[in-house]
Amino acid sequence: MLTTEEKDIIALIEKDSNSGFRLLLQTYQKPIYYHIRQMVYNHQDADDITQNTFIKVYKNLSGFKKESKLFSWIYRIATNEALNFLKAQASKKNVSMDEVALHLSSNLESDAFFDADAAELQLQKAVASLPEKQRLVFQMKYFEEMTYEEISEILETSVGALKASFHHARKKVEEFVQSH
């Protein structure tokens, strides 16, 4: 179900695609960037993936069925773009996606765009150590403060499965932080 704001954005895009798309970018670019950044840990990669996401959104907006929220649809595209990036990195290095995430998180300390204290860095490393699905759910629930219903719509997974994934992820993060 579309929100009033989403209906207004779509109506403006249909009326004036340039102005409408600018409004869509103003509304969603920053949260999408941070969502992707949580997944790939690197500013430049997140920036590139964010651009790719909005190119796909622009090209496929006419095919958006309006059965889900625009927000969820864009987040699903962004999530898939980030996962595809991680898969490509894993394939290139002949390692698992989880190993790629761990490697990328280890570069946070030298990332000029990452400004955090030791506790935040430790939390990021703990999250990076999680299996892919748990990592995604934890990031969306903990960092992005999404509801289980929103995450369910984006990841196309049941709320019950998401709650279980978040519970397991939280326990693993606690254990990681306590042991390091």
Q: What is the pLDDT of residues 85-138, one digit of tens each?
A: 999 988 888 888 777 777 776 665 555 565 556 677 788 888 888 988 999 999
Burial 101-113 (b: 16+ CB within 10 A, else e): bbebbeebeeeee
Task: Please give the torsion angle defined by the CA atoms of residues 63, 30, 33 and 44, in that order, rounded to the nearest 10 degrees.
Answer: 120
Q: Residue type at 57?
A: V
In this structure, what token pair is assigned to residue 55?
């190119």
Helices 118-128, 159-179: axis angle to 10 degrees equals 130
Q: Residue type at 168?
A: H
> What is the reported pTM?
0.82
Q: Which residues does the chain have with pLDDT short of 70?
A: 105-118
**Amino acid 27: pLDDT:** 96
Beta-carbon contacts of 61 under 8 Å, excluding residues fewer than 6 positions away, are 13
Beta-carbon contacts of 65 under 8 Å, excluding residues fewer than 6 positions away, are none
Angle, CA of 6, 24 and 75, to the nearest 5°: 75
Write the DSSP assignment of 122-177 as a string of letters: HHHHHHHTS-HHHHHHHIIIIIS---HHHHHHHHT--HHHHHHHHHHHHHHHHHHH
**Amino acid 123: pLDDT:** 83
Beta-carbon contacts of 59 under 8 Å, excluding residues fewer than 6 positions away, are none
Q: Cβ(101)–Cβ(93) under 8 Å?
A: no
